[in-house]
Homo-oligomer: A and B are copies of this chain.
């Protein structure tokens, strides 16, 4: 039994998928059942990273979707359109879809899932988050017994590479970014990565799976690393913390109507050095799931790259191929409904809470005059808002006293609104020149 694959896109991931399908030896025997039937490329003339029979290639992605010999449509072209329309077209044709497209799924996941449910086809997305790390499938199929409390992760390899080098070398953000671009770890336009949007797409997807309902992507508070100062990375290290760009989704309540109330956000975060995520370096990703009764489980591995991402794409193809084998053995006319776990069906509404009401630990760096009594005044401002402080440490940025002092405050877990009020009062103090940095802390 052969299963026909149609590829939309033949970039690094598409070529990686084609390479796996072309050399099934030593892999699961189902891989040998897969056959590449049609491949849509943007430019038929461009040289390819992989040799394919020219008759497989077409400039028309619609032709791939519509090709009757294509059983599974694999979307690895990226971008919002025409990817979204092509996924919907495949679903409408009753064809299962495998996609690595986090942007489309984060924004149109609900529309796509509804169409897939109506048509009774799977849309699988393992490659959309965490590259080669199995995380979507475990969330769908291995952790269903749990009440998930929190999913937090390092899910953008570019920023983790930059942060790792900033920490190791004490280098400035802009300098490391330029180097990362030269080495191919960051794109020419790095905005989606360094501003946190890519991580926000991914945490929206993880949150929907972990908490059972889709999350409004546009409403996720997102801060990137593009304004991160190397000084804060250095101070954090001195205080026993590493700095990582974390994406977090946490259930903070349950509404009277049964909706999961979620605090979902992306921001640079101080992690204690012994935190499981603190040891994740370079372009690696890791996702930590905290749940009852399992406790803390973590999934770690390469978060991007042709090989890892193709591994995840082909895993999804194999899952559909396995089910296809089952379906083909059914009597004529029998249509197996979707497995509710693999389909990742949502099962309750989810809502984002007002960030002002959430609770966090914070790191604040203040530039102040170098005068006695400043720390006391800052402490009083926090105290008046009920913001409990774990530590206040004065750092001297230079030997020149005229430059003033830098004071770093780490709070306990406090209500965001109270913290912001205290910060406004501190900013108004005559001895305080500026709030130079404000980061979350785990």
Contact = CB atoms under 8 A, between A and B. Distances in A.
Contacts of A313: 145
A14 interface: no
Nearest to A298: B300
A147 B26 contact: yes
A358 interface: no
Q: Chain A interface mostly helix, strand, loop or mixed?
A: mixed
A293 B311 contact: yes
A30 B323 contact: no
A46 interface: no
A325 B342 CA distance: 12
Contacts of A144: 27-28, 30-31, 314-315, 318
A315 B31 contact: no
B30 A141 contact: no
Interface in A317-340: 317-319, 322-323, 325-326, 329-331, 333-334, 336-340
B310 A302 contact: no
Interface string A8-47: 0000000010011000001111110000000000000000
A331 B331 CA distance: 9
Given A27-B144, A143-B311, A340-B30, A298 B301 contact: yes
Copies in the complex: 2
B318 A329 contact: no
A184 interface: no
Interface stretch (A88-96, A130-138, A405-413): A130-138
A294 B307 contact: yes
B322 A27 contact: no
A294 B130 CA distance: 11
A52 interface: no
A297 interface: yes
A333 B334 CA distance: 10
Contacts of A153: none
A376 interface: no
A255 interface: no
Interface string A132-174: 1110011001111111000000000000000000000000000
A384 interface: no
Contact of A308 (B138, B295, B311): B295
A83 interface: no
